[in-house]
């Protein structure tokens, strides 16, 4: 979506961010505004708005509004869905079954809208080029990292999960021919422990990808790529379910991209294994 593309752009100036915030908060109102009216409402010049539109990949404000109008129904539907509290306290088991299913669907749909295909392609390229993939996380993120590494290993990727940094280990791998790639998982993007790990890995010339809730977190400045996923803030909104569902979706996509890239080799190995099992 065009708004999400801009939200992920770390090169925006302060004035451009102010315009983007106004558009994000008032998409329906913006569709009825001229470039001069939007400039006045967001306290910037019309030329700032034109530059922002160009950073969104369109020629100007008219084309930007056209794309925004096309995406507005989806934006409104997602916002409405995600503002619904899943529980009131009087649900039956059947109702809970339906609520949880719907919440998973909404989480995946919203997360899909957040993903930037170009970012995913670049991250997939980093995975292909790395001799080794490491995934760092603590708390809930550590067992998730272990699961993702098992999935990568299944398709031939050397992958390991960690909840702390072994500096000797990092220095050893960093000085080999192909740079290692590290994913850093942090729910809020504000985990101090993960930030320090990112700092040290960056000093060892690791390629870094952070997965968190916003491109505006300090840890993003340490990393080569940032992938934003959906999070919520409280237990009533099933924050852990939403986060785990979004994170699993992301790594399933990344694993699938790697599998497709090595499809013939993986298919041959799979056929060999199936044949040996049947003998």
- pLDDT tens track of the chain, all 279 residues? 677 777 677 788 999 989 988 988 888 888 889 999 999 999 999 999 999 999 988 999 988 988 888 777 666 555 555 555 566 778 888 888 887 887 777 778 778 877 888 889 999 999 999 989 999 999 999 999 999 999 999 988 999 999 999 888 888 887 777 789 999 999 888 899 999 999 999 999 899 999 998 877 899 999 999 998 877 655 445 667 778 888 999 999 999 999 888 888 878 888 888 888 776
52: its two tokens: 């922002």
**180 and 191 in contact (C-beta within 8 Å)?**
no
- Which pairs from 203-206 meet CB under 8 Å and 24+ separation? 204/170, 204/171, 204/174, 205/174, 205/179, 206/134, 206/170, 206/174, 206/179, 206/180, 206/181, 206/182
**Residues contacting 162, CB < 8 A, separation 6+:** 134, 135, 136, 142, 145
Sign of CA dihedral 23, 26, 27, 32: negative
What is this structure's pTM? 0.71
| Distance set, CA 250 to CA 120, 123, 209 (Å) | 9, 11, 12
All domains of the chain in start order, with CATH: 2-72 (1.10.10.10), 117-267 (3.40.50.10490)
């Amino acid at each position: 979506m065009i708004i999400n593309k801009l939200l992920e752009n770390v090169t925006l100036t302060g004035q451009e961010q102010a315009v983007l915030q106004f558009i994000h908060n008032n998409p329906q109102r913006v569709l009825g505004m001229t470039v001069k009216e939007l400039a006045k409402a967001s306290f910037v010049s019309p030329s700032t708005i034109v530059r922002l539109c160009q950073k969104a990949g369109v020629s100007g404000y008219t084309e930007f509004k056209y794309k925004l109008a096309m995406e507005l129904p989806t934006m409104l539907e997602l916002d409405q869905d995600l503002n619904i509290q899943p529980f009131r306290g009087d649900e039956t088991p059947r109702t809970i079954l339906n609520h949880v299913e719907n919440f998973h669907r909404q989480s995946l749909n919203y997360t899909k809208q957040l993903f930037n295909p170009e970012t995913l392609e670049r991250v997939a390229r980093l995975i292909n080029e790395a001799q080794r993939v490491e995934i760092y996380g603590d708390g809930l993120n550590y067992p998730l990292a272990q699961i993702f590494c098992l999935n990568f290993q299944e398709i031939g990727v050397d992958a390991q999960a960690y909840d702390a940094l072994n500096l000797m280990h990092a220095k050893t791998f960093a000085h080999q021919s192909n740079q290692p790639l590290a994913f850093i998982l942090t729910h809020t993007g504000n985990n101090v422990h993960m930030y320090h790990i990112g700092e040290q890995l960056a000093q060892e010339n690791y390629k870094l990808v952070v997965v968190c809730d916003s491109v505006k977190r300090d840890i993003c400045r340490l990393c080569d790529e940032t992938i934003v996923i959906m999070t919520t803030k409280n237990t009533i909104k099933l924050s852990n379910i939403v986060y785990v569902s979004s994170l699993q979706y992301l790594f399933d996509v990344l694993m699938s991209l790697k599998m497709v890239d090595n499809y013939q080799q993986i298919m041959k190995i799979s056929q060999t294994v199936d044949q040996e099992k049947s003998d």
